[in-house]
Every structure is written in structure tokens, then in C-alpha cells.
Structure 1
């Protein structure tokens, strides 16, 4: 271990952020940061050992170890499933199918974003795909029908982040691979927190619509039970796909990777059923999936190398011992970690946040007594917050491109849902059984 690992940590963080701000690829930035750390360590090696040989050994082993994972095979499959659904007419089918069932609910169609995002998140796993797909159809429809633009945009921004929390989730897959936590258990643990967050959004919409009578238009159409029954034909295929993907995991018939393959097959069948699938759609979906998978894999590989360097230099152990010496209570520690992630969310995207911080943060929270499974759900919440925090809130950019509104207006509309998410995080932290209940019941 080097003399002062805490100072080295600050230096490495400074180098990493400097590289990121220089617009170098994230994967390359992580690798260069690790190489820089090893070069600092050069004076601590015996003269007979070349630092470049040591760097080569660590780099080659970490690249292989970080990507040689069967669980990681689920990643490109879920991405492909989301791309295929994005190109199909599933968003319009969801909208048309949900309209009759929300007729008597306070706020009526303002709930469409929460309901549609929750359903799409359960088959996509991507926050960006969820926000873009649902937003393209709902914002225009809600505006045309006279609903509050601010509530429509805010609910889309908040609900769109459910793509990371409601399984299957790309962030959960990445976290599971990096932390050696069961991806299936993470998927199960995310159900109740995801439903709790969606319910909190719906409750806020009800309250806001009750106080602001201009938020919803005067009702001119009467929905009959026949309309509701007719809408089932639009919702049933989508519900079957959700059952196929999640049910196969929870029933123990398939691993997350196998379920992802079933999801791709199901999305292809849905495209054929809706008559929106052709060769061009498949080609674009495959190309986009390859690009996204390679980008994420490159980041994971860079993070794997940096993780090995952090362990080689003794940084994680030193930081854990330092924080332990502060005698912070476990909840104070989580509060500090949460503040750190909110700040990082203003500068980094969610995947980068996970892969760059996990090698240091996970040993600390484990030492404080927190279960890695629960921390995975907590971390997903932090990633969701990063999606709607400026200036690198990706969901904000997606909504801006869809709505044409200025970013300031979108931030104002999103703020109540940002606060609601923080309150739900506090609840899940105070009552961790919200995340543990289903996994423990499934084990029994």
C-alpha cells in the first residue's frame, strides 16, 4: 500500500474528471486514469519489475475478466428488445389501450405517462427508450386534448426514469456483473420500489389536478364498458410480453439472459402482430444495439481495469478504514454517498456513475453493514436522479427534442417529481424491507 492513498484518490479523481471534460471517450478515460495511478506507484516497485509489464498484466487480465461473463450476455439482448419495441407501434397501442381505464381517475389522462412508462419499462429496461417512446405519442395527444403541459412534461420526465428501476434494467445488469450480486434477485428487488415510485407520482398528479382545475379539460366523452373491453385487444399482447420476460425469471424457468432472448423473440412477434416490422426496422435495431452494447462494454472494460488498479494500490481499503475511523452512523454514511451521487449526476451519465464509483463505494457501504442487494436498488435510484439533473440529465434532452420547450421550463416542470423521487429513496432507506420482501419470499 502506498504512503497516502487518500491523497492518491483525490489526484486520480482530478485526473479522471479532467480527462472526461476533455471529451475523451469514457472507457479510454478510465483506462488512462488507471495507467496514471500505476505510474505514480512506479517508485514502490522493485527495480527488477517493469511498471509497463505490470500495467500490461493488469490491463489484459481486467479486460478479459470484466467482459467474460455469461450474465453480461443479457445486456445486448435487452438493448435489442428495446430497440425493436421502439421501432414498433407499441407506444400508440399502449396509449389507446389505457385511455378507457383512466377515465374516472382524478387527473384522468395525465396518468398516461406513469402507466405507459411503467409498462414499457417492464419490457424495455432503458430510460431513454422509455422516455422517447412514450413521450412521442403522449405529449402531443395530451396537448391536443387540453391537459396541463407542465404536468405532462414533469410526469414524463419522472416516469421515464422507471426504465432503470422496474425490471428488466440495464443498470441492474451492469451493477450485478460488477458487484457479483444475482441479477435475478436485483430484478425481483426492484419491483416494489418501482411500483412505490410510480404510485407516488400518480398520487401527486391526483393532488395537483384536484387543486388546479385548469390542469384537465372538461369531460366531453363518456367511456363505456364496451370501450374498456375493446381496449384489451391493444393491451393484451403487451401484457403477454411482460409475463413472458418477467414471469420466466421469477418462476425459475429462465435466467435473465435466457429471458432477454425470449424478450427479443416476443418483440419480433409483437412487431409482426402490429404489422410494423420489416427488414429496415430490424437492420436499424441491430445496428443501434451493436453501437450501444459496444459503448457500454468499453466502459465496463475500462472500469474493470480501474477497479483492479484501485485494489492494487490499496485505495478502497484505505478509504474504508478512513470512513470507518470517522465513526459515521450507517445512515449518515448513506446520506453522504447520496449527496455525492446527486452531485455526480449533474456531470455524468448513469452508467458512468456506476462503473466509476462502485469499486470504491461498494466496499465502504458493505463495511457499514448494508446489503449489496439493497445498495443496488439505492444506486439505481441515484442513477434515475441523474437522468433529470442538469446539465447532463439525458431524459431532459430527450424531452426537449420531443416537446421543443426550453430546458428551464422542463426543469421547472420536473422539479416536483425530482423531490418525490428523493422522498421515495428516503422511504426505501428507512424501510429496506420494501426491497427485500419479494427476494426473500422467492427464496423461501
Structure 2
């Protein structure tokens, strides 16, 4: 059988398996194994199965994934998220729509220690949504702001999605982390400004201004965010100053978050420590399963020659870097409707990276564009992961239609931010260029 025909057939089979609900890791792994078996024989297939899983799990550089996940879990268990949201609420209370702004700002800060869009969304749904309903905020815009703000964890370092891109594209994790700082801050500013404009145009979306909070109470609340700020300084400051590599930064951050949690629980390890380890291990195993399945499928696609075939076809079109970025953006927005973020990157990057290299595109900037598209995909109906994470965390108080309608204004804002990142590459490239 012609390898290209076999590759296209297996790609169609993979899409069919995803449509009927087969888990992504299983679908990619089985499709890749079947394709290699049919096209290249038993010996080749078993040779790949013996080496590829170990290439992921045995690589020291990949230890950064579970370490950053563990840091986020420890930070959440310590309660610093609650204090962060409380402080944001008090400082912003005199603005109309202050709870929306509190969610956006607090989620942006917590993104610097959580690393996961789903974790961010679930945490702030449980923390903020009941209070927003009680105060009379729009149910739809409330869940929309929570789901959309949760995507900050993809762009603001340390980010699990950035680590996945760095692994697949063989780029520096540290440079990617620094490249995401300004686009992440831009996202927070755009969401905040857009929300203020929206509630001004439609006052029914937010209640009247809250009571004035004494300045002393604001200062007291601000003191409670020291834990989050300390972790940010330790992790990003250590990477930027060159004190340790990103993989070591994950360990330092996890140790620091555990220390904060230990201080909060007065030195007791009972309950929270074991639960944190179990949760971090569970999330890490899921991500590594997807990585292994994606690597098996990607290897099959590479050996069939499909990567070269598709790459040469696009290059022959002479579309140039901007045309290529536009095609990638359209592809990711469409795929994001039906495939989760990590799986989408693993499916597409083997095709896209050779073309980006041929077009002499800066791969750090390209990574930030990909990650912003991944953010958009996380809130794009019908399969945006953050939508379901928020909806399931509301306890049945929100329907699917509510959250879709609530997130639409933020999708529009995300597309505007994407345009800015594409049009002004310096937003992503300046800070990494200053790295020691």
C-alpha cells in the first residue's frame, strides 16, 4: 500500500475514533500502531514501541511537567488562591463589574503557579461563581469570564502547554516562559478593559457599585498574596537570572509551594500532602499518556512521508510566513472545536514545524502564536475543555448554552490579542533575547 494513502486512511480512522468518543491517547496510540504494522511490518512496529514510550518517560528534561503540576496543586491546597481572589475583590470593589475584574486579575496571577487552564477554571468557578450569583451578576458572563480567564495559564509561565510545545519543537523551555510574559499581561489588560466597556454598555450585566472598603483592610488583604508572589519571583526570577534550568525551577517551585502549604497547616502533613501527590500523579499520568500516544502517531506520520508531502505542497503555494500563520490560525480554530489542546498540538506540530523552519519563522514567536491559538481552542465550542470544566463545577446551575453565550465576548477579545501578537512579534521575542 502506498504510504501516503495509508497515512491518510489512518488519519481518517483517528478522526472517526475521536468522534465516537475514544480517549485521545488511546485513539492516537492505536492508530499509530496499526499504521506502522500495516505499512512497515511487525519488527519495525515493536522496535518503535520499545523505544518511544521510554523516550518520553526516561528523559530528564520532561520532569518539568509533573513538577510544575505538583507546584500548582500544592499552591491550590495551601489556600493562597482564596486570599488572592479576596484581595483582588477588595481592591477593585469600587469599579462596576468588580467581580469580573477580580476573577480576571486573580486568575492571571494564579496562572503563574498553576500551569493548567483546567485547574484555573475549576478553582475560580468554585471560589467566585457562587458569590457572583449572590451579588446579582450575569450568570452567563460570570461563567464566561471564569472559563476565558482560565486560559491565562496556557500563556503565563510556567505553562504546561509551553512545556509540551518545547518538547515537540525542541525549543528552550526557559525562553518560551519569558516569551509568554508580555502576551499574558496583554491578555489580562484586554480582558479587563473589554469587560469594563461591556458592563458600561450593558449595565444589567453587573450590579451597582459595592461598599467602600477601608484602606487598612485592603492593605491587610494584599499582605495575604505574598505566597503567590514569592513563587513567581522564585520560579521566573531564577530562570531569568540563570540560577537554575527550567526543569530545576519546577522542583524549586514545588518545594516552595509545599513549604507555604506546610506553613499554612502549621507543620501538619495529614490529609493535604497525600491528596496533593495523588492528584498531581493522576494529572501527570494523563498528560504523559497523551504524549506517548501522540508521539507514536507522529512517528507513523513521519515515516509515511506525509509530513514532507504536506510541507512541500504548502511551500509550493508560495504563501509566505504571514499566509502560513493565517492558515495555521484557521486550522487551529477549527480543530479546537473538536480536539483538546495538547492532542491538537501533537497532531499538527509534526506537519507545521518543518514548514515554519523552511520559511525562517522564529520558533519562539511561532510557539507563542500556537499557544494563543491553544488558549482560544480551550474556550471554543463545542469541545472547549474549559467550558466543560466550568460547567461541571457549577453543580448543574449553568447549562451549555449559557456558558457558550457567556464566552463569546472573550473569544472576540482573544482574536484581537492574537492579531496583536502576530503583527507585533517583538511582544514575544524581546524578553527572551535578554535572557542570560
TM-score interval (norm. to shorter)? over 0.9
Q: Equivalent of 2:355, from 364, 371, 376?
A: 364
Q: Residues of 2 paired with 1:245 and 1:4: CA distance?
A: 46
Cα-to-partner distance string for 1:364-421 (whole Å, 9 max, x where unaligned): 2222232221121111112212211222222111221233211101100100101111
Q: Equivalent of 2:373, from 364, 376, 382?
A: 382
> Are residues 221 and 14 of structure 1, via their aligned partners in 2, closer, same or farther at CA, if it must alter by over 3 Å?
same
Aligned pairs for 1:308-387 within 5 A? 308-387=299-378
Aligned pairs for 1:236-247 within 5 A? 236-247=226-237
Q: Residues of 1 paired with 2:57 and 2:354: CA distance?
A: 21
TM-score norm. by structure 2 comes to 0.93
TM-score norm. by structure 1 comes to 0.92
Aligned pairs for 1:136-285 within 5 A? 136-275=126-265, 278-285=269-276
Query: What secondary structure, in the 3-state scheme, does the structure 1 residue paired with 2:271 have?
Result: helix
- For the Cα contact (< 8 Å) 1:27–1:302, is it kept in 2? yes
Gaps of 5+ in 2: none
Aligned-residue offset at 1:442: 2.2
- Establish whether residue 58 from structure 1 lines up as the match of residue 51 from structure 2: no
Aligned-residue offset at 1:79: 1.2
Q: Residues of 2 paired with 1:398 and 1:29: CA distance?
A: 22
Aligned-residue offset at 1:22: 4.5
- For the Cα contact (< 8 Å) 2:152–2:184, is it kept in 1? yes
- Establish whether residue 36 from structure 1 lines up as the match of residue 34 from structure 2: yes
- For the Cα contact (< 8 Å) 1:151–1:205, is it kept in 2? no
- For the Cα contact (< 8 Å) 2:70–2:276, is it kept in 1? yes
Cα-to-partner distance string for 1:37-76 (whole Å, 9 max, x where unaligned): 334434xxxxxxxx21122222323223333322210111
Aligned-residue offset at 1:24: 3.7
Q: Residues of 1 paired with 2:46 and 2:342: CA distance?
A: 26
Cα-to-partner distance string for 1:142-185 (whole Å, 9 max, x where unaligned): 22223333332221111111111100001111111111100000
Query: What secondary structure, in the 3-state scheme, does the structure 1 residue paired with 2:211 have?
Result: coil
Cα-to-partner distance string for 1:186-213 (whole Å, 9 max, x where unaligned): 1000111111111110011111122223
Aligned pairs for 1:62-141 within 5 A? 62-141=52-131
Cα-to-partner distance string for 1:280-337 (whole Å, 9 max, x where unaligned): 2222221122122122112212222223222222221111111111222322222122
Q: Residues of 1 paired with 2:262 and 2:293: CA distance?
A: 39
Aligned-residue offset at 1:437: 1.1
Gaps of 5+ in 1: 43-50
- For the Cα contact (< 8 Å) 2:3–2:39, is it kept in 1? no
- Establish whether residue 393 from structure 1 lines up as the match of residue 393 from structure 2: no
- Establish whether residue 442 from structure 1 lines up as the match of residue 435 from structure 2: yes
Match in the other structure for 1:21: 19
- For the Cα contact (< 8 Å) 1:93–1:234, is it kept in 2? yes
> Are residues 108 and 61 of structure 1, via their aligned partners in 2, closer, same or farther at CA, if it must alter by over 3 Å?
same
Aligned pair count reads 433
- For the Cα contact (< 8 Å) 1:154–1:410, is it kept in 2? yes
> Are residues 314 and 105 of structure 1, via their aligned partners in 2, closer, same or farther at CA, if it must alter by over 3 Å?
same
> Are residues 145 and 274 of structure 1, via their aligned partners in 2, closer, same or farther at CA, if it must alter by over 3 Å?
farther
Match in the other structure for 2:290: 299
Aligned-residue offset at 1:104: 4.1
Query: What secondary structure, in the 3-state scheme, does the structure 2 residue paired with 1:436 have?
Result: helix
- For the Cα contact (< 8 Å) 1:155–1:417, is it kept in 2? yes
Aligned-residue offset at 1:4: 6.7
Aligned-residue offset at 1:20: 2.8
Query: What secondary structure, in the 3-state scheme, does the structure 1 residue paired with 2:13 have?
Result: helix
Higher deviation after alignment, 19-28 or 65-74: 19-28
Query: What secondary structure, in the 3-state scheme, does the structure 2 residue paired with 1:442 have?
Result: coil
- For the Cα contact (< 8 Å) 1:74–1:258, is it kept in 2? yes
Higher deviation after alignment, 219-228 or 200-209: 219-228
Query: What secondary structure, in the 3-state scheme, does the structure 1 residue paired with 2:171 have?
Result: coil
> Are residues 351 and 220 of structure 1, via their aligned partners in 2, closer, same or farther at CA, if it must alter by over 3 Å?
closer
Query: What secondary structure, in the 3-state scheme, does the structure 2 residue paired with 1:279 have?
Result: coil
- For the Cα contact (< 8 Å) 1:192–1:434, is it kept in 2? yes
> Are residues 22 and 407 of structure 1, via their aligned partners in 2, closer, same or farther at CA, if it must alter by over 3 Å?
closer
- For the Cα contact (< 8 Å) 2:155–2:372, is it kept in 1? yes
Q: Residues of 1 paired with 2:297 and 2:205: CA distance?
A: 50
- For the Cα contact (< 8 Å) 1:157–1:396, is it kept in 2? yes
Q: Residues of 2 paired with 1:28 and 1:402: CA distance?
A: 26
Match in the other structure for 2:398: 405
Aligned-residue offset at 1:423: 1.4
Q: How big is the alpha-carbon RMSD for the aligned residues of Structure 1 and Structure 2?
A: 2.0
- For the Cα contact (< 8 Å) 1:71–1:173, is it kept in 2? no
